[in-house]
Amino acid sequence: MDQFMQQVINGLSLGSIYALIALGYTMVYGIINLINFAHCDIYMIGAYVGYFCLTVFKLDFVTTVLVAMAACTVLGVTIEKVAYKPLRNSSRITALITAIGVSLFLEYGMMFLVGPNVRTYPEITGLLAEKFNIGNVIVSTQQVIIVGISLLLMVLLQFIVKKTRIGKGMRAVTLDADAARLMGINVDSTISFTFVLGSAFAGIAGVLVGVYYNSINPLMGYLPGLKAFIAAVFGGIGSIPGAMIGGYTIGMVEVMVSGYANSMYKDAVVFAILILILIVKPTGLLGRNVREKV
């Protein structure tokens, strides 16, 4: 039982990170119908920015997170303006391949700039490094912070989307971009704002992963990115609570498979879940059913 509870705690922290990345995928997919393959590399860049802030500039944790968020936001919006905006009216496959191209560019560009080797995050000291026991289960402050930050951000995001003016605009563009434009909504700036939110979240996730798992490399984004996308599909693409549920489910499944079965197969199980959910309920758990128009 103790071991099980320990796995649950680990699953929650991993799931929080997937959920944070999944939010970026789900919002962008909801608004421009594009699987933003570059999103996972924005997360990787966030981790690197965090690394340099902590080691070279010796900033404290909170400032590091803020700097990483800012850098990722700038990067995300630049990608949107340079690569995706000219393709707004072209076919889906064109946009998808562009996204893959941008992703390769970021991965190999980073490999060229900082080298392909793995880097270790500096040891975090003070409050963040502490561990305490609940019964026989060990919980670290880091895990509490990871789960706390992600829950807080998701509540914040839900508030932005449901209660603010710009959030209303985002929902309108998601439903019908042309009609939204006719109603006086600036579609381009709404899409940019979506990228701002998604990239900022990816930046935070990057720093948190660096602190939690200690090691980063230029290709670190690929697998978590895919899994976060799976989480988004699982929960229903375009739905914010869905991304959260999906993220926690995928994180939990992964931890349980490596804990109780063969850890080599944990990725295969996640992909199998994806295929299963696509076959049984392609819209995901909370996705809305869009009727096909002829």
Partner 1 sequence: MSVKELVKKPVLRKGIGLGAVFIIVQLLLMTGVMNDYYFATLVTICINIILASSLNLITGFTGQLSLGHAGFMSIGAYTCAIFMMNVPPGWGVGAFLAGVLLGAVAAGVVGLLVGLPTLRLRGDYLAIATLGLSEIIRIIMVNLDITNGAAGLSGVPRFVNWIWLFVFTAGVVLLIANFLNSKHGRACKAIREDEIAADTMGVNTTRYKVIAFIVGAFSAGIAGALYASYFYVIKPDLFGFLKSVDILVIVVLGGLGSLSGSILAAILLAVMSSLLQSFAEIRMVLYAVMLVAIMIFRPQGLMGSKEISLALLKKFGKNLTFKKKRV
- As measured in angstroms, the least distance from the Cβ of 271 to partner 1 is 4
Beta carbons within 8 Å of 51's beta carbon, 6+ residues apart: 119, 121, 210, 216
Number of amino acids touching partner 1 (CB under 8 A): 45
Q: What are the helix (H) ranges across the chain?
A: 2-32, 39-55, 61-79, 92-114, 141-163, 165-175, 177-182, 187-213, 222-235, 240-260, 266-280
- Considering the complex, state which of residue 203 and residue 287 has its C-beta at the smaller distance from partner 1: 287
d(CA 14, CA 234) in angstroms, rounded, equals 16
- As measured in angstroms, the least distance from the Cβ of 33 to partner 1 is 7
Tokens 């109780």 locate to: 260
Given 40, 53, 71, 102, the residue binding partner 1 (CB under 8 A): 102
Given 233, 240, 245, 257, the residue binding partner 1 (CB under 8 A): 233
d(CA 146, CA 20) in angstroms, rounded, equals 10
- Considering the complex, state which of residue 132 and residue 271 has its C-beta at the smaller distance from partner 1: 271
User: Do 54 and 128 contact (CB within 8 A), yes or no?
Assistant: no
- Considering the complex, state which of residue 37 and residue 212 has its C-beta at the smaller distance from partner 1: 37
Site track for partner 1 across 23-62, x = CB under 8 A: ------x---x-x---------------------------
- Considering the complex, state which of residue 9 and residue 231 has its C-beta at the smaller distance from partner 1: 231
- As measured in angstroms, the least distance from the Cβ of 262 to partner 1 is 8
Given 4, 57, 108, 159, the residue binding partner 1 (CB under 8 A): 108
Of the candidate spans 16-24, 92-100, 159-167, 247-255, the one that interacts with partner 1 by CB under 8 A turns out to be 92-100
Given 261, 281, 282, 288, the residue binding partner 1 (CB under 8 A): 282
For residue 245, give the nearest of 257, 230, 258, 255 by alpha carbon.
230
Of the candidate spans 117-125, 162-170, 240-248, 274-282, the one that interacts with partner 1 by CB under 8 A turns out to be 274-282
d(CA 43, CA 213) in angstroms, rounded, equals 14
- Assigned token pair, 137: 């289960």
- Considering the complex, state which of residue 208 and residue 233 has its C-beta at the smaller distance from partner 1: 233
Could you count the other beta carbons within 10 Å of the beta carbon of residue 70? Answer: 14
Residue 140 host element (H or E)? strand 137-140
**CA distance to 24, 115, 162, 225, per residue, from 72 (Å):** 12, 20, 24, 15
Asked if 290 is part of the footprint of partner 1 (rule: CB under 8 A), the reply reads no
- As measured in angstroms, the least distance from the Cβ of 40 to partner 1 is 12
Given 230, 231, 252, 253, the residue binding partner 1 (CB under 8 A): 230
- Assigned token pair, 228: 């976060």
Asked if 278 is part of the footprint of partner 1 (rule: CB under 8 A), the reply reads yes
How far does CA 77 lie from the centroid of its chain? Answer: 16
d(CA 43, CA 294) in angstroms, rounded, equals 39
Given 100, 118, 152, 175, the residue binding partner 1 (CB under 8 A): 100
Give residues in contact with partner 1 (CB under 8 A). Answer: 29, 33, 35, 83, 86-87, 90-98, 100-105, 107-109, 111-112, 222, 226, 229-230, 233, 262, 264-265, 267-268, 271-272, 274-275, 278-279, 282, 292, 294
